[in-house]
């Protein structure tokens, strides 16, 4: 390289090796293999062997080594006074947290508490003919919709809940028309979903749903025996009815307009593979393996689920393993919880998921309007209320203003108790960028919205699943790596995920 | 432009005359229009091409209708000094060229599909570059504009903002990035602090909604961390509209620096494959330029583009036997003479 032309050698631009580097914020976790997982604030990560990690934290990495450059490129260390690494981190952080933009996007409307099922994991439905008492009125619906439009979000998602919402289809019809009418002024991107067991479905309803591009989210818990045992109904025919109606709905609305969610009960724990196979058989391309909703149960026992966290973890791993094997055999099928976590691990993009984000989605991402006009910070918050615990009631559409409901002390306290970056037990955890907080869960199970991590079923579960996914990614199995990357970067996230 | 000119030819309305003839002095009165005679050949010019005539008889072709690769050379100056610069900068005061650029834009055929703005470093024209883009928007509304810049001046958010404000709807800024850390990049572009300025520049352009392209020249100093660089791009510049890996062109500064820069493309084919796949698998738009197919793993052929400017493109004699020639990027005419891969060999049958 000719100096006479004015070129300078590399040293001219490099650091003087006496120059010590600074450590930028990072978290770490020791692995069983002796390696150390090092994670920066935006979820970029790498595995270092124990001695490299030791050298890294003691400011002794050789500036010419690839490990040094790896750490520097991931903004784990800085060796100049430049503020640019911090600026880049800040930009990435903003991107990761941009699910917060626009404030409350998901609005749940409990249009009735009545239901024809009596699922033991549901605390909120009523098997009754008493329309007056448990149905949402038109006036309540209008007021709730007006509140919804006060939210600055450009995308608004209306989800009808129950009870069984189709039992009050008149109100759904009324509310959809009213919201659409308001929206001619508002110009938001408005989407409707009905969470339903589908049993009261009529052709007339399907016509209306097609006209208004409404999505259906139904419940399918697995093969017939599991499903019917989980979802008892007079006649013990829930499975048959569900499948028949999924077929009708797909035909009328289009295949991808109908999705299903599953709930893991004690009985489900024995059938991870059969449950997956049922979803494949019914032509779904993904499943969301969810533990049972703890609320009624937790209030009585202070335990999260009817089974231990460890049992759920074993169930989940077995099911995921089966999903991976299906893919190996050419069946494209995805597990959605893994997808959410992998997206956070492998991409720079945000993943708002109400039940696992920091700060928590309650109130700022999702809100629930109960049949009687009460406003709750989430669906779980209103389930608690059905058990007599009104801690997370934000107000009532007939009594409070938008400012009072969304700017009140309940919501503020929830936010304060749900930034994992600052929670005791979480703040040092390597998984902060991938995890989230659920203050309502911790309130219900531990009597405190912050909660105690070592005894938290929520933490036990997420810690184990994140470790499991990292372990699989790091196992050297190229197929899994590729599959997980596909899941992480796939564009279609299920409807409960904002952005 | 003419082959035959006589005293009877009417020159009224012409801006100038180029002819291969030798003209007797005074045939065309100088005050009517400038004339350059004894031009060796006019075969490369066509109707609607644009040329500039210098009083010293120097004729520069500024725009060729027949070319897909028209470029406006904004300035000869640059604030970097890249080891492989193909258009070595000159420290001259050419600020007066702006009016020529603006005039050129008026003369260019509005049906032109694409035009590049390069240099030197176009942003050194400061507001002049903004004028140029604004003028392009006005006179060439259907022409895609590609600015090739080192991005350093977009460190100033207001400058990125001003460019975005023009509201050109088909504008892209291509910016080279050579490493995932500052010192390595600064060394290659021979400028301290360049990496930081460029990275902030990228962010500013992205923030203001200007489309950016990341350009990576593959050579001995960049290839060994190519996949790391791909990861860095994905994590820090996921908004980039395009990432291009470009083979080294043996011209300009690459000639004196060839020993520092040269690596046989065959020797980094795996690194290039990894980096390309890394980005493509994550949904980023990737291209490979200036590479010969026989040096690329087949799995990344689909990203290889026929890109070399029409007037610089050549093949080796053995290429004539190659079944992949139609799809192969070939060689820069400069590089074919200087140095090329030792693994060039024709495909008897096209790989599947
Ligand atoms: S909940 Fe557990 S796994 Fe999640 S960040 Fe907190 S400590 Fe880590
Ligand atoms: S032999 Fe020539 S034409 Fe064929 S791939 Fe190689 S460079 Fe291209």
Judge: A73–B186 Cβ closer than 8 Å, yes or no: no
Comparing alpha-carbon positions, the chain B residue that sits nearest to A68 is B181
As a whole number, mean pLDDT of residues B78-84 equals: 89
A123 pLDDT band, cuts 50/70/90, is low
Judge: A14–B203 Cβ closer than 8 Å, yes or no: no
A409-429 pLDDT, tens digit per residue, is 999 999 999 999 999 999 999
pLDDT at A303 (0 to 100): 65
The burial class, CB within 10 Å (0-12 / 13-18 / 19+), for B10 is exposed
Q: Which atom of ligand 1 is nearest to the CA of A460?
A: 2
Q: How far apart are CA A146 and CA A378, in angstroms?
A: 18
Residue to mutate, A29, A43, A426, A469, ligand 1, most ligand atoms under 8 Å from C-beta: A426
Q: How far apart are CA A318 and CA A296, in angstroms?
A: 28
Query: Quick check: B92 pLDDT over 90?
Result: no
A294 pLDDT band, cuts 50/70/90, is confident
pLDDT at A339 (0 to 100): 96
**Helix, coil or strand: residue B211:** strand
B60 closest CA partner among B69, B72, B73, B51: B51
B1 pLDDT band, cuts 50/70/90, is low
Comparing alpha-carbon positions, the chain B residue that sits nearest to A12 is B187
Judge: A66–B225 Cβ closer than 8 Å, yes or no: yes
What Rg, from alpha-carbon coordinates, does chain B have?
A: 22
B208 touches chain A (CB under 8 A): no
List ligand 1's pocket residues with C-beta within 6 A.
A 420, 425-426, 429, 431-432, 435, 453, 459, 462-463
A116 touches chain B (CB under 8 A): no
CB atoms within 10 A of CB A403: 9
Q: How far apart are CA A248 and CA A218, in angstroms?
A: 13
A64 touches chain B (CB under 8 A): no
Q: How far apart are CA A138 and CA A135, in angstroms?
A: 10
> What is the residue whose two structure tokens read 């259907």?
B142
Query: Quick check: A306 pLDDT over 80?
Result: no
Residues present in chain B in total:
352
For residue A46, give every residue at least 6 positions away whose Cβ sits within 8 Å of its Cβ, in sequence order, or none.
Answer: A37, A38, A70, A71, A74
A497 pLDDT band, cuts 50/70/90, is very low
What Rg, from alpha-carbon coordinates, does chain A have?
A: 25
Residue A450, CB-side half-sphere exposure with 13 Å CA sphere? 11
pLDDT at A498 (0 to 100): 37
pLDDT at B352 (0 to 100): 78
pLDDT at B336 (0 to 100): 75
For residue A431, give every residue at least 6 positions away whose Cβ sits within 8 Å of its Cβ, in sequence order, or none.
Answer: A27, A29, A39, A462, A463, A466
A177-228 pLDDT, tens digit per residue, is 999 999 999 999 999 999 999 999 999 999 999 999 999 999 999 999 999 9
Q: How many CB pairs under 8 A join A and B?
A: 75
- Cis before residue A163, ω within 30 degrees of 0? yes
A357-406 pLDDT, tens digit per residue, is 999 998 899 999 999 999 999 999 998 898 889 999 999 999 999 999 99
B167 touches chain A (CB under 8 A): no
Query: Quick check: A302 pLDDT over 80?
Result: no
A66-118 pLDDT, tens digit per residue, is 999 999 999 999 998 899 999 999 999 999 999 999 899 999 999 999 888 77
A251 closest CA partner among A277, A283, A291: A283
B224: DSSP letter: G
pLDDT at A257 (0 to 100): 95
- Is the C-beta atom of B325 inside 6 A of ligand 2? yes
B266 touches chain A (CB under 8 A): no
The distance of Cα B19 from the centroid of its chain, to the nearest Å, equals 30
Query: Quick check: A17 pLDDT over 90?
Result: no
pLDDT at A495 (0 to 100): 45
Q: How far apart are CA A128 and CA B293, in angstroms?
A: 73
- Is the C-beta atom of B324 inside 6 A of ligand 2? yes
pLDDT at A492 (0 to 100): 56
Contact B114, B68 (CB under 8 A): yes
Q: Which residue would you say has higher pLDDT here, A26 or B314? A: A26
B37-47 pLDDT, tens digit per residue, is 888 888 888 88
Q: Which residue would you say has higher pLDDT here, A133 or A193? A: A193
Nearest-neighbour CA in chain A from B350: distance (Å) = 28
- Is the C-beta atom of B308 inside 6 A of ligand 2? no
Query: Quick check: A16 pLDDT over 60?
Result: no
As a whole number, mean pLDDT of residues A228-234 equals: 85
Comparing alpha-carbon positions, the chain A residue that sits nearest to B202 is A88
B166 pLDDT band, cuts 50/70/90, is very high
Q: How far is CA A218 from CA A210, A226, A353, in A?
A: 16, 16, 19
B167-183 pLDDT, tens digit per residue, is 999 999 999 999 999 99
Burial A6-32 (b: 16+ CB within 10 A, else e): ebbeeeebbeeeeeebeebebbbbebe
Average pLDDT in chain A: 91
Q: Which of A 450-489 lie inside 8 A of B, CB atoms?
A: 482, 485, 489
The distance of Cα A498 from the centroid of its chain, to the nearest Å, equals 9
Could you tell me the pTM of the whole model? 0.92
Nearest to B181 among A8, A69, A489 (CB): A69
Tokens of A435: 């995890």
pLDDT at A15 (0 to 100): 62
The CA-CA-CA angle for residues B199, B202, B208, to 5°, reads: 140
As a whole number, mean pLDDT of residues A27-39 equals: 96
Q: How far apart are the first and last CA of chain A?
A: 51
The distance of Cα A304 from the centroid of its chain, to the nearest Å, equals 18
Query: Quick check: A337 pLDDT over 50?
Result: yes
Query: Quick check: A499 pLDDT over 50?
Result: no
pLDDT at A272 (0 to 100): 97
With contacts defined as CB-CB under 8 Å, which chain A residues touch B232?
A: 73
B274 touches chain A (CB under 8 A): no
The burial class, CB within 10 Å (0-12 / 13-18 / 19+), for B184 is buried
pLDDT at A48 (0 to 100): 98
B252-299 pLDDT, tens digit per residue, is 898 888 889 999 999 999 999 999 999 999 999 999 999 999 999 999
Q: How far is CA A187 from CA A149, A497, B14, in A?
A: 10, 21, 56
For residue B171, give every residue at least 6 positions away whose Cβ sits within 8 Å of its Cβ, in sequence order, or none.
Answer: B133, B144, B145, B146, B147, B163, B210, B211
For residue B96, give every residue at least 6 positions away whose Cβ sits within 8 Å of its Cβ, in sequence order, or none.
Answer: none
The distance of Cα A347 from the centroid of its chain, to the nearest Å, equals 16
> What is the residue whose two structure tokens read 């009418």?
A181
Q: How far apart are CA A161 and CA A157, in angstroms?
A: 13
- Tell me the residue ranges of DSSP E strands in chain B: 17-18, 35-36, 50-53, 59-63, 71-73, 114-118, 144-148, 171-176, 211-218, 242-247, 286-289, 313-314, 331-332
Q: How far is CA A389 from CA A63, A365, A381, B42, in A?
A: 58, 22, 9, 90
Ligand 1 centre to CA of B107 (Å) is: 64
Tokens of A121: 């994991």
Query: Quick check: B133 pLDDT over 60?
Result: yes
Ligand 1 centre to CA of A454 (Å) is: 9
A8 touches chain B (CB under 8 A): yes
Ligand 1 centre to CA of A335 (Å) is: 21
As a whole number, mean pLDDT of residues A150-169 equals: 94
For residue A492, give every residue at least 6 positions away whose Cβ sits within 8 Å of its Cβ, in sequence order, or none.
Answer: none
pLDDT at A236 (0 to 100): 84
ipTM value, please give it. Answer: 0.91
Residue A17, CB-side half-sphere exposure with 13 Å CA sphere? 8
With contacts defined as CB-CB under 8 Å, which chain B residues touch A12?
A: 187
B130 closest CA partner among B74, B54, B209: B74
Judge: B184–A69 Cβ closer than 8 Å, yes or no: yes
Cross-strand partners of A292:
none
A135: DSSP letter: B
Q: How far apart are CA B264 and CA B15, in angstroms?
A: 49
Q: How many percent of chain A have pLDDT more than 70?
A: 94
Q: Best interface-test mutation with B: which of A84, A86, A343, A479 has the largest number of B CBs within 10 A?
A: A84
Element (H, E) at A27: strand A26-30
Q: What is the SS3 assignment for B4-43?
A: CCCCCCCCCCCCCEEECCCCCCCCCCCCCCCEECCCCCCC
Q: Which listed ligand is nearest to B293 at the C-alpha?
A: 2
The burial class, CB within 10 Å (0-12 / 13-18 / 19+), for B262 is middle
Q: Which of A70-79, A233-242, A490-499 has the lowest mean pLDDT?
A: A490-499
pLDDT at A222 (0 to 100): 95
**Closest CA to ligand 2's atom 2:** B319
According to DSSP, the β-strands at B171-176 and B144-148 are: parallel
Nearest to A73 among B232, B260, B283 (CB): B232
């Amino acid at each position: 390289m000719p100096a006479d032309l004015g070129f300078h050698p590399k040293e001219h631009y490099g650091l003087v090796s006496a120059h010590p580097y600074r450590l930028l914020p990072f978290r770490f976790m020791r692995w069983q293999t002796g390696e150390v997982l090092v994670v920066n604030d935006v979820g970029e990560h790498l595995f270092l062997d124990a001695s490299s990690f030791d050298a890294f934290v003691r400011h002794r990495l050789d500036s010419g080594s690839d490990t040094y450059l790896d750490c520097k490129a991931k903004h784990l260390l800085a060796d100049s006074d430049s503020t640019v690494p911090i600026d880049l981190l800040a930009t990435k952080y903003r991107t990761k947290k941009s699910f917060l933009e626009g404030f409350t996007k998901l609005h749940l409307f409990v249009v009735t508490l009545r239901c024809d099922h009596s699922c033991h994991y549901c605390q909120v439905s009523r098997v009754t003919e008493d329309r007056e008492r448990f149905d949402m009125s038109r006036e309540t619906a209008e007021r709730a919709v007006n509140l919804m439009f006060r939210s600055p979000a450009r995308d608004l998602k209306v989800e009808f809940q129950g009870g069984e919402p189709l039992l009050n289809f008149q109100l759904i019809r009324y509310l959809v028309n009213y919201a659409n009418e308001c929206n001619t002024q508002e110009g938001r991107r408005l989407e409707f979903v009905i969470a339903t067991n589908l049993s009261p479905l009529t052709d007339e309803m399907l016509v209306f749903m097609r006209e208004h591009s409404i999505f259906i989210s139904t419940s399918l818990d697995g093969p017939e025996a599991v499903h019917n045992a989980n979802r008892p109904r007079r006649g013990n025919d829930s499975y048959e009815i569900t499948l028949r109606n999924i077929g009708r709905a797909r035909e009328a609305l289009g295949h991808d307009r109908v999705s299903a969610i599953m709930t893991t009960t004690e009985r489900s724990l024995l059938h991870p593979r059969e449950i997956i196979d049922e979803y494949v058989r019914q032509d779904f391309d993904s499943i969301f393996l969810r533990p049972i909703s703890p609320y009624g149960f937790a209030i009585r026992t202070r335990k999260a689920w009817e089974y231990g966290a460890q049992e759920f973890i074993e169930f989940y791993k077995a099911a995921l393993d089966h999903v991976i094997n299906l893919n190996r055999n050419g069946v494209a099928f995805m597990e959605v919880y893994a997808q959410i976590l992998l997206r956070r691990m492998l991409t720079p993009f945000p993943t708002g998921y109400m039940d696992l984000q920091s700060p928590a989605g309650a109130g700022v991402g999702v809100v629930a309007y109960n049949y009687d006009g009460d406003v709750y910070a989430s669906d779980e918050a209103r389930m608690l209320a059905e058990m007599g615990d009104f801690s997370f009631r934000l107000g009532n559409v007939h009594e409070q203003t938008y400012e009072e409901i969304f700017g009140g002390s309940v919501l503020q306290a929830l936010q304060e108790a749900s930034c994992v970056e600052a929670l005791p037990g979480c703040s040092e955890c390597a998984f902060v960028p991938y995890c989230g907080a659920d203050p309502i869960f911790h309130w219900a199970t531990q009597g405190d919205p912050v909660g105690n991590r070592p005894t938290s079923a929520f933490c036990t579960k997420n810690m184990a699943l994140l470790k499991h996914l990292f372990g699989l990614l790091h196992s050297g199995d190229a197929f899994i790596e590729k599959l997980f990357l596909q899941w992480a970067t796939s564009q279609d996230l299920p409807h409960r995920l904002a952005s | 432009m003419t082959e035959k000119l006589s005293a009877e030819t009417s020159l009224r309305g012409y801006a100038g005359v180029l002819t291969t003839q030798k003209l007797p002095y005074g045939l065309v009165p100088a005050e009517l229009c400038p004339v350059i005679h004894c031009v060796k050949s006019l075969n490369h010019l066509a109707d609607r091409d644009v040329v500039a005539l210098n009083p010293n008889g120097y004729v520069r072709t500024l725009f060729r209708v027949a070319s897909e690769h028209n470029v406006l050379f904004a300035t000869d100056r640059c604030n970097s000094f890249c080891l492989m610069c193909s258009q070595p900068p000159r420290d001259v005061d050419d600020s007066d060229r702006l009016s020529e650029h603006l005039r050129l834009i008026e003369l260019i055929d509005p049906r032109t599909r694409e035009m590049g703005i390069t240099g030197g470093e176009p942003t050194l024209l400061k507001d002049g570059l903004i004028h140029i883009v604004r003028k392009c928007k006005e006179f060439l509304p259907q022409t895609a504009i590609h600015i090739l810049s080192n991005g350093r001046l977009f460190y100033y958010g207001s400058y990125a903002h001003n460019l975005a404000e023009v509201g050109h709807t088909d504008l892209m800024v291509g910016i080279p990035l050579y490493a995932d850390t500052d010192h390595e990049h600064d060394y290659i572009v021979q400028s301290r602090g360049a990496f930081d300025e460029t990275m902030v520049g990228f962010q500013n352009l992205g923030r203001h909604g200007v489309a950016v392209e990341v350009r990576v020249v593959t050579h001995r100093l960049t290839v060994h961390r190519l996949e790391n660089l791909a990861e860095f791009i994905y994590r820090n510049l996921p908004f980039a509209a395009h990432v291009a890996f470009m083979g080294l062109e043996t011209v300009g500064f690459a000639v004196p620096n060839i020993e520092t820069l040269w690596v046989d493309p065959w020797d980094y084919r795996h690194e290039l494959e990894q980096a390309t796949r890394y980005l493509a698998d994550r949904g980023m738009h990737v291209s490979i330029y200036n590479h010969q197919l026989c040096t690329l793993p087949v799995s990344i052929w689909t990203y290889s583009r026929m890109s070399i400017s029409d007037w610089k493109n050549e093949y080796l004699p053995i290429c004539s036997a190659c079944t992949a020639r139609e799809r192969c990027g070939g060689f820069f005419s400069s590089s074919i003479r200087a140095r090329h891969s030792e693994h060039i060999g024709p495909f008897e049958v096209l790989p599947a």
